[in-house]
């Protein structure tokens, strides 16, 4: 049973860079053909798709965040990470990592518990 666990700083200052990591257990990133996602949710609001990484290294990003977002993986550690630059209070949210099959319409079927990131001075 694949499990995902996010880890992050909790608090980031405005204009700085947010970095959160997702550790995959119960299945290796490099041995599967899956997409790995980051999705965020401000408190009391809806879900926002941030981006995804394919095992080949290909990435897709939300156009509204594309200039600030990088998703990468460390295959040796079975981890993938989100980096978001020049953060503002609007980036305060619960950040979820997730996994889905290599075909989009099969959906996102494994989610982490989420990690809360607050942007504040």
Rule CB under 8 A: which residues touch other proteins? 37, 39, 46-49, 52, 60, 62-64, 96, 104-109, 111-114
Residue among 16 and 32 whose Cβ is closer to other proteins: 32
CB of 46 to other proteins, least distance (A): 4
**Tokens read off for 7:** 């880890």
Q: Which residues are CB-neighbours of 20 under 8 A, at least 6 positions away?
A: 6, 7, 8, 9, 38, 81, 82, 95, 97, 115, 117
- Side-chain-side CA neighbours of residue 107 (13 Å): 3
- Nearest of 75, 76, 78, 81 to residue 95 by alpha carbon: 81
CB of 16 to other proteins, least distance (A): 26
CB of 85 to other proteins, least distance (A): 20
Residue among 16 and 41 whose Cβ is closer to other proteins: 41
Residue among 48 and 78 whose Cβ is closer to other proteins: 48
């Amino acid at each position: 049973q694949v499990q995902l666990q996010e880890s992050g700083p909790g608090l980031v200052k405005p204009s700085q860079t947010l970095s959160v990591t997702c550790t995959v257990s119960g299945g290796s990133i490099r041995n599967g053909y899956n997409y790995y996602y980051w999705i965020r949710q401000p408190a009391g609001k809806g879900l926002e798709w941030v981006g995804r990484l394919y095992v080949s290294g290909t990435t897709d990003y939300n156009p509204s965040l594309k200039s600030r977002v990088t998703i990468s993986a460390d295959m040796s550690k079975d981890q993938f990470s989100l980096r978001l630059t020049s953060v503002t209070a609007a980036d305060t949210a619960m950040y979820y990592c997730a996994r889905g099959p290599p075909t989009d319409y099969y959906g996102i079927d494994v989610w982490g518990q989420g990690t809360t990131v607050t942007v504040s001075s």
